A and B are shown apart, each in its own frame.
Chain A
Amino acid sequence: MARAAVLGRLTWLVGKVTDVRDETPTARTITLEVPGWPGHAPGQHVDVRLTAADGYSAQRSYSIASAADGTRLELTVQRLADGEVSPYLAGVLAAGYPLELRGPIGGWFLWDAADPAPVLLVAGGSGIVPLMAMLRARAAAAASIPFRLVYSARSPDDVIYAGELAGLQRAGLDVQLVYTRSAPPGSGRPAGRITAADLTAGSWGPDRAPAVFVCGPTGFVTAAAELLTAAGHDPGRIKTERFGPTGG
């Protein structure tokens, strides 16, 4: 399934925005109806192309947030103050607008529901987006494969999908939120950068040999990947997706 989703020519499709909703003060989820959408695997992304009236255009890549669901697609976009495309997607775009995109792209950073290995997800900031697609795919498949999510965010206000994650946690998902700047009152963990203990808590040490997905800004991914390999995780089991703060 995963491989099939990246085969063939990727033509530009025109989706229609059916809904936008704010996840945090700076992140917005866009729901699209995309006629001709071929389906996707959790972890894949799309290229979005914006075109101005004079023909100038700009392209960027965005992770898909939703599990496969016919021609319905959700993207979650973090608005960057000096960005070119993200302020439009997470600010101007509204229900009824067209949006040009092509995909799905990426045959590496994806979770295969047929893989029985336990899964450790490590998110920094909006790096949660492709990992959320994996959690949603797992829920949609009613899979019982053990998952743990370690999600690093600056503060509770910056947590994307907070309500949904709380629901998944109540349903038994192992979720650890790591606040780097300010932790909520009563949080057992003081604010601070992600540590080896955050990553290997419980029974999630390297001897369990989980498939590991790390996504976030470059500095976060580098730090987390080094903590994981230093703790003994096989580098070959760690897949990374990095994005810089540049330009988006």
Chain B
Amino acid sequence: MGIVSPGFTGRRRPGGEHLPPGQYLVTDFPVLSAGPTPKVDTRAWQLQIRTETGQVHAWDWTAFRQLPAEDITVDLHCVTKWSKLGTGWRGVSLDTLMSGVETAAEYALARSYGGYTTNLPLADLLDGQAWVAFRYDGDDLEPEHGGPARLLVPHLYLWKSAKWLTGIDLLETDEPGFWETLGYHHYGDPWREQRYWGD
């Protein structure tokens, strides 16, 4: 525990007791991104999974939307301290996307329209832990929140859930992404408060 702040009692919010350390509860949906919001037309949209041998699996919007999708209700934890509970999404499981992909890679690098990247172990994308989401709260995913489609990896801090997703590279060696190069943690487990390098 830190030093006591004289005169601070806090303003505890109901439901905030079960959040990861250092987080607070919000009910709106803050937007965070490092630059302007890319405008991505679904007619030109493409998602590619590229393996470590250079094999490419690609979907256009029509093919992607024909894949089996599922409704997901998950908690979100942003490294900027807010958490939002019980958010409703619809998306395609990475297990579905990876089902025809042969790989021995251990790492993944997600790539976004606009140039954003983020890295994570491939294992964290599999076994029902990650989706490519295209609906939020019953509506098409807004550009501000990563539409037309974003990665959703809710067990890690939200910067790992790359907005405006267009590719996932499967890699034999870990390659730090955008924020991971700029001081943020390579893994980003909110329950272990892995915000920054060395956490």
A240 contacts which chain B residues (CB < 8 A)?
33-36
Partner pick for B197 among A8, A56, A84, CB 8 A cutoff: A8
Query: In the bound complex, how far is the Cα of B38 from the Cα of A157, in angstroms?
Result: 35
The chain B residue with its CB closest to the CB of A55 is: B1
Q: How far is the CB of B35 from chain A (nearest CB, A)?
A: 6
Q: How far is the CB of A37 from chain B (nearest CB, A)?
A: 16
Query: In the bound complex, how far is the Cα of B80 from the Cα of A58, in angstroms?
Result: 12
Query: In the bound complex, how far is the Cα of B35 from the Cα of A100, in angstroms?
Result: 30
- Pair A244/B30 contact, Cβ less than 8 Å: yes
- Pair A50/B5 contact, Cβ less than 8 Å: yes
- Residue A118 at the B interface, CB < 8 A? no
Partner pick for B3 among A51, A225, A226, A246, CB 8 A cutoff: A51
- Pair B115/A236 contact, Cβ less than 8 Å: yes
B63 contacts which chain A residues (CB < 8 A)?
none
The chain A residue with its CB closest to the CB of B7 is: A92
The 6 closest A-B pairs by CB, nearest first: A9-B198, A107-B182, A6-B183, A244-B30, A225-B36, A84-B11
Segment at the A interface, from B20-28, B87-95, B122-130, B165-173 = B20-28
- Pair A52/B9 contact, Cβ less than 8 Å: yes
- Pair A235/B34 contact, Cβ less than 8 Å: no
Interface size on B, residues (CB 8 A): 42
Known A52-B4, A52-B10: A247·B82 in contact at CB below 8 Å? yes
- Show the binding face of A for B, using Cβ within 8 Å: 6-10, 12, 14, 47, 49-53, 55-61, 83-84, 88, 92, 97-100, 105-109, 218, 222, 225-226, 228-229, 235-236, 238-240, 242-244, 246-247
Q: How far is the CB of A178 from chain B (nearest CB, A)?
A: 19
**Residues 24 to 78 of chain B near chain A (Cβ within 8 Å):** 24-26, 28, 30-38
Partner pick for A51 among B8, B12, B30, CB 8 A cutoff: B8
The chain B residue with its CB closest to the CB of A97 is: B6
Query: In the bound complex, how far is the Cα of B4 from the Cα of A242, in angstroms?
Result: 30
Known A225-B35, A247-B82: A108·B182 in contact at CB below 8 Å? yes
B135 contacts which chain A residues (CB < 8 A)?
none
- Pair B24/A84 contact, Cβ less than 8 Å: yes
**Beyond A50-B8, A88-B7, 16 extra complex contacts between A and B, CB < 8 Å:** A6-B197, A49-B2, A49-B22, A50-B5, A50-B10, A51-B2, A84-B11, A88-B5, A107-B182, A108-B182, A235-B36, A242-B32, A242-B33, A246-B26, A247-B81, A247-B82
Query: In the bound complex, how far is the Cα of B179 from the Cα of A97, in angstroms?
Result: 33
- Residue B121 at the A interface, CB < 8 A? no
- Pair B4/A53 contact, Cβ less than 8 Å: yes
- Residue B199 at the A interface, CB < 8 A? yes
- Pair B10/A61 contact, Cβ less than 8 Å: no
Query: In the bound complex, how far is the Cα of B53 from the Cα of A140, in angstroms?
Result: 52
Partner pick for B182 among A14, A106, A218, CB 8 A cutoff: A106
B196 contacts which chain A residues (CB < 8 A)?
9-10, 105
B1 contacts which chain A residues (CB < 8 A)?
51, 55, 57
- Residue B144 at the A interface, CB < 8 A? yes
Query: In the bound complex, how far is the Cα of B5 from the Cα of A55, in angstroms?
Result: 10
